[in-house]
Amino acid sequence: MADYDLLVIGSGPGGYVAAFRAAQLGMKTALVEKDATLGGTCLNVGCIPSKALLHSTEIFHIVKERGEAHGIKTGKLSSDIPALMKRKDEVVKQLNGGVAQLAKARKVEVLQGLGSLEGEGKVKVKGDDGEKTVSADHIIIATGSVPVELPFMKFDGKTIVSSTEAIAFDKIPGKLVVVGAGAIGLELGSVWARLGSEVTVVELLPQIAGAVDKDVAKMAERFFKKQGMAFELGAKVTGVAKEGKKTFLTAEKGDKELKFEADKILVAVGRKATTAGLTPDKAGVELDDRGRVKIDDHFRTSAKGIYAIGDVVAGPMLAHKAEEEAVACVELIAGKGGHCNYDVIPNVIYTEPEIACVGIGEDKAKEDKLEVNVGKFPFAANGRAIAVDATDGFVKIIADKKTDRILGAQIIGHGASELVAAIVTHMEYGGSAEDLGRTIHAHPTMSEAMKEAGLAVSKSAIHSM
Ligand code: NAI
C-alpha cells in the first residue's frame, strides 16, 4: 500500500487547493513544499503582497491628490517605507498561517523539502532535516512558474530585478525603469510612482496591458500618465549601459536609439513554467518546447498516475485558473465529473483604475469576424461613481448578435476586479445582455454601470445616450 492516496508537489494556490479538495473527498493527502512557508508565488511574493502595497499606496495617493477636495488636511504628507513593508509582510504572514492551519485541520501532511519524481508513484523529498522517499497512488505536479529573464540583462537582485525584489525595495527608487507593460509592470510601476518614483515603462508592443481592447488600453495609458508614469511603447530593449556611476536601460524604436537612466530596472516580461529539481524525465513526464508539463484534457501527464495543474501547464498564469484546475483534477481522480471552464476566466490588472476582462473582447470578436453587439456605459454617468470620485472608465459588454448571449466584458474603473464577478456569473449560466440589463442592482452602486452596459447592447441604457 502506498503512503498516500495523493501527493501534491508545490503549495501555491494550485497545489494547496488540490490537497484540501482531496482531503475533503477522503483521500490521505500530503503536500510537498520546498520553501519554509505555504502559499507559493501568489501568497508569498505575488498577488497578495502586491495587493497590500497597491492598497497602501492608493490611500497615500488619494490623500495626496484629492485630500483637500474632500476636506482632509494633513499638513505635509510623507511615506514610511519600512512601515509599508511591515504591513505587507504581516498580511502575507497571516495568510501563510491560515493555509498552514487549514492544512492541519484537514489532516493534510506537509512535507517540507524539494520534491523530485523517482519513477511511478515515488517522490523523493529533500528537506532541511534530511531526505526521504515516499509513495503515492496519485501525484499532482503544481510547481508553478518563475520570472522570465532577459538573456542580455540577467537579474542581479540589486539593480536588475524581478517582481520578487520590487515588492521589497527598502527605499523609493529615484528612477524606476520597468520593462514590460503587462500586469506586473503596471501594478508595481503604479506602486512606486504613487510614492514619488519617476517611473518609465518600456514595452515592446504598441499598446499597454496585453491583449485588452484598444480603447481600454488607450484610456488606461492616459490615466497612468496623469498619475506620473511615462510610457515608451513599441520599443525593443537592447541592454544595460553604465556611464560612471549611472545605469541606463537601452532600447531601440525604429531607427532611434533610446536610453533611460535607472536606479532600479524591473524586468516584467512574463513568467515561465518551472520544474527545477523535479526530474520529470525520471518518471517519464514529458514537457513541451516551453518547458511546460504536457497534459491531456483530464490533467494527465504522459506518466501513469501523475497529473499537472496551474502555471506549470499551458494556459493563462493566474492563481484562480490554477485553483479551478486543482479542484477539477482532484475530482476527476476521485471519479467525479471535475471541469474547468476556460472560456470564462476573469483577468484583472489591479491598478487604479483597475482593468478587468472576461471572455472575448471587442477587438478579438472583430478579428475573428464574430457577429456581435457591443454595449458601453461610462462611470461618469453613474451616481455612485460621481459621489466616490471614481468616474474614470467604462463597462463594455460584448454579446452575440443573434442570441444576445454575453461573450465577454471589459471593465476599466475603480473596483473593476469585484464588479466583473457578476458578469462572470451571468456568463457561467449562459446569460444574455438582456438578462444582465433586467437584473436589479442596488442603487446607488457602481455595479449599476454593468446593468446599464447590458441595456446599452440593445441601445436602451437609461442614464446615457
Ligand atoms: P505579462 O505577460 O502580463 O506582460 C509582459 C509584457 O512584457 C507584455 O506586454 C510583453 O509584450 C512585454 N515584453 C515582453 N518582452 C519584452 C521586451 N523584451 N521588451 C519590452 N517589453 C517586453 O507578464 P508579467 O506582467 O511579467 O506577468 C507575468 C505573469 O503573471 C502573467 O501571466 C500575468 O498574467 C501573471 N500576473 C497576473 C497578475 C494579475 O492577475 N493581476 C499580477 C501579476 C502577474
Cell representation of residue 265: 530596472
pLDDT tens track for 223-254: 999 999 999 999 999 999 999 999 999 999 99
Q: Which pLDDT band holds residue 221 (cuts at 50, 70, 90)?
A: very high
The reply to whether ligand 1 has any atom less than 6 angstroms from the CB of 202 is: yes
Q: For 353-456, CATH number?
A: 3.30.390.30
Cis before 49? omega within 30: no
Distance 100 CA to ligand 1 centre (A): 30
Residue 422 three-state SS: helix
Give the per-residue pLDDT at 465: 86
Quick one: how far is CA 97 from the chain centroid?
22
Instruction: Give the percent of the chain with pLDDT over 90.
Output: 98
Which listed residue (70, 298, 339, 443) is catalytic? 443
Give the residue ranges of DSSP H helices in 141-248.
163-166, 183-194, 214-226
Asked if 443 is an active-site residue, the reply is yes
> Whose C-alpha lies nearest to ligand 1, atom 14?
269
The reply to whether ligand 1 has any atom less than 6 angstroms from the CB of 219 is: no
pLDDT tens track for 325-381: 999 999 999 999 999 999 999 999 999 999 999 999 999 999 999 999 999 999 999
Superfamily of domain 4-147+272-342: FAD/NAD(P)-binding domain (3.50.50.60)
Q: Ligand 1: which atom is nearest the Cα of residue 209?
A: 9
Residue 405 three-state SS: strand
Sheet strand arrangement including 236-243: 236-243, 246-253, 256-261
Kindly write down the DSSP assignment for every residue of 334-389, as one continuous string. TTS-----TTS--EEE-SSSEEEEEE--HHHHHHTT--EEEEEEEGGG-HHHHHTT
Q: Which residues pair with 202 in a beta bridge?
A: 179, 232
Q: Ligand 1: which atom is nearest the Cα of residue 148?
A: 26
* Average pLDDT of the segment spanning 61-78: 94
Let me know how long the chain is: 465
Is 367 buried (19+), middle (13-18) or exposed (0-12) by CB count in 10 A?
Answer: exposed
The reply to whether ligand 1 has any atom less than 6 angstroms from the CB of 204 is: yes
Among the CATH numbers 3.50.50.60, 3.30.230.10, 3.10.20.30, 3.30.750.200, which is that of 160-269?
3.50.50.60
The reply to whether ligand 1 has any atom less than 6 angstroms from the CB of 237 is: yes
| Within this chain, domains 4-147+272-342 and 160-269 share the same CATH topology | yes
So where are the chain's domains?
4-147+272-342, 160-269, 353-456
b/e code 36-49 from CB counts within 10 Å (16+ = b): ebbbbbbbbbbbbb
Distance 210 CA to ligand 1 centre (A): 8
- Residue 253 burial (CB count, 10 A): 13
